[in-house]
Structure 1
Amino acid sequence: MTPAAALPTVLVTRPQPQADDWVARLQALGAPAQALPLMRIVRREGFDAAVRAAWSDLARHRLVMFVSPNAVLAFFAGRPEGAAWPAQTLAGATGPGTIAALRAQGVDARSIAAPPEDAASFDAESLWRHALAGLDWTQRQALIVRGEDGRDWLATTLRQAGAHVDALAAYARAEPAWSAAESAALAVVARDPAAQVWLFSSSQCIAHLLRAPVDAATLAALRQVPVLATHARIAETARSAGFVSVVPVRPDPLEVRQALKRSQEPRA
């Protein structure tokens, strides 16, 4: 068995506070991990008024879909005092992180619509297929709480099913500030690419890394770091960007740990 000390360090690129949470969960499984966020979440101006209006009308919605834990945090930060989640309103989530964020805010598990734990993928298509496709959406109201931009697949699918769909932009995704400490962290990674592995949960994180203020040699070395990608689309983005080793993995710390172990096993 490969000792945990021999495993490469997982570079968790999610925004904070999710990065630190993932680091703690990976370390608890014996996997070396370090937070190296490649995205910042910036609260949108005017969101507070919009979320107050949404809460006042929440019970009229059949579904409020949250695209990420950050969407949950932003939406519930504006919850009126004493307001409870309406039992008849589904809280949509595509993956375990968003489910956990909803449960932490007191949303009953029976009100959460999400793919099952053993789903092959955690995305809007899986959410629709497993939890929403069998419902009658004719003239029903749906709200999607998301970033400033994002995929419109679920909104389009709900409208085709007869629903009235609105979107509420809770935050913008921004590049890291690229402080001296962040730039130094990239330089350390570039000096020993085989000792780390990128964990990418967003194609935007890859784009931000490629625009980092580093020289060409450092960027080339950063592309030599193996990649674990939490979705097939992210894996394809990484391959297209020139990363030399890309492996898809479900967004689960235990499965990331198992992928690390497999990567250290001798090839036949």
Structure 2
Amino acid sequence: MIHYQKPIILMRPGAANERLAERLGKRGMNIWKWPAFTILPPQDPERVQERLLNLDNFDMVLLASPAAVAASAVYVKQWPQHITLATIGSGTARVIRAAWGEHTPVLYPEGETFESGSERLFELLKSRGFPSRVLIVRGQVGREWLREQLLAHGTDVEVLPAYQRAPLELSSAELEKLQFSISGPAPIVYLTSTDSVGVLMHAVKTVPGALEWIQKGFVLTIHPRPKAQLEEVGFRNVALVSAKDERVQQAIEKLLEIV
């Protein structure tokens, strides 16, 4: 029998988290929406606009995340023909095509999310020849490894912080609910990035015993990097899952049946 009282903590940022929460809520699950980051406007919107409307000196634009796609779509209605769009996985590629049309050419490592990432995109770029000049559209930080590798192989790289990420801060009501819940069954957590691991640990640190309670539960994530980070800081039950909503639902339902 499935017991839905176990908390399901969803930490994916943005609309994807809301969509998954609605899907799982319809199954009667106890959903806690804790998006690891809230996406905010950039510190310098004038610079973002000026750069995205003047791409003559670039031959590739790397959109590092769905948030980068949304930020770019504010200013770019159609990409110049000389620009190659690239991203790190199929999920963001789908968001790109939703923004600029299903036939928009995008370079990305195909396959499941755990088969994607900066390393796989780098291998793809290496096999086809490195671009001369790349604009990486991202938040304040991110994709540093890829930037460094491109620079080492002779590519000029410019970084454009097109949005800000504000990390999760739990409200007083959420902290009270957390305090009440740590005497009950440990949660199932779904998170999607290495940065989210530190955000989670920071968010619960003021509640004694909360981190230990969460570490007794299960964590689902979409890539080997956050999985390794979770295990390094003491999480014992960590598994990879496809980023597709139906696969996440299936994984959570399976966990609910066995715990």
Shorter-chain TM-score bucket reads: 0.7 to 0.9
CA distance in 2 between counterparts of 1:266 and 1:9 reads: 15
SS in 1 for 2:255: helix
Letter of the 1:147 partner, please give it: G
Q: Give the structure 2 partner of residue 41 of structure 1.
A: 39
Is the Cα contact below 8 Å between 1:88 and 1:111 reproduced in 2?
Answer: no
1:127 and 2:159 aligned: no
1:183 and 2:180 aligned: no
Alignment CA distance shift 1:56-1:247 (3 Å): same
Tell me the alpha carbon deviations over residues 117-164 of structure 1, each in whole angstroms, 9 at most, x when there is no partner.
34752211122334x2233336x2211011211232222232333321
Is the Cα contact below 8 Å between 1:193 and 1:222 reproduced in 2?
Answer: no
Is the Cα contact below 8 Å between 2:9 and 2:190 reproduced in 1?
Answer: yes
**Structure 2: unaligned runs, 5 residues or longer:** none
Tell me the alpha carbon deviations over residues 28-59 of structure 1, each in whole angstroms, 9 at most, x when there is no partner.
7x58454221322233311x112222222235
Is the Cα contact below 8 Å between 1:7 and 1:31 reproduced in 2?
Answer: no
Is the Cα contact below 8 Å between 2:63 and 2:85 reproduced in 1?
Answer: yes
Letter of the 1:72 partner, please give it: V
Is the Cα contact below 8 Å between 1:42 and 1:172 reproduced in 2?
Answer: yes
1:152 and 2:132 aligned: no
Q: Give the structure 1 partner of residue 197 of structure 2.
A: 206
Q: What are the within-5 Å matches in structure 2 for residues 184-263 of structure 1?
A: 184-187=176-179, 189-194=181-186, 196-212=187-203, 214-263=206-255
CA distance in 1 between counterparts of 2:84 and 2:101 reads: 10
1:68 and 2:60 aligned: no
CA distance in 1 between counterparts of 2:168 and 2:143 reads: 22
CA distance in 2 between counterparts of 1:134 and 1:107 reads: 27
Q: What are the within-5 Å matches in structure 2 for residues 2-151 of structure 1?
A: 10-24=8-22, 32=29, 33-46=31-44, 48-79=45-76, 83-118=77-112, 120-130=114-124, 132-137=125-130, 140-151=132-143
State TM-score, norm by structure 2. Answer: 0.84
Letter of the 1:202 partner, please give it: S
Letter of the 1:51 partner, please give it: V
**CA deviation after TM superposition for structure 1 residue 177, in Å:** 3.3
Letter of the 2:126 partner, please give it: A
Alignment CA distance shift 1:8-1:215 (3 Å): closer
Alignment CA distance shift 1:249-1:114 (3 Å): same
Tell me the alpha carbon deviations over residues 51-89 of structure 1, each in whole angstroms, 9 at most, x when there is no partner.
22222223542211111111111222233xxx4122332
**CA deviation after TM superposition for structure 1 residue 179, in Å:** 1.7
State TM-score, norm by structure 1. Answer: 0.81
Alignment CA distance shift 1:37-1:107 (3 Å): same
| Percent sequence identity over aligned pairs | 25
Letter of the 1:209 partner, please give it: L
* Count of equivalent residues: 257
CA distance in 2 between counterparts of 1:12 and 1:76 reads: 26
Is the Cα contact below 8 Å between 2:112 and 2:242 reproduced in 1?
Answer: no
**Structure 1: unaligned runs, 5 residues or longer:** none
SS in 2 for 1:75: helix
Is the Cα contact below 8 Å between 1:148 and 1:169 reproduced in 2?
Answer: yes
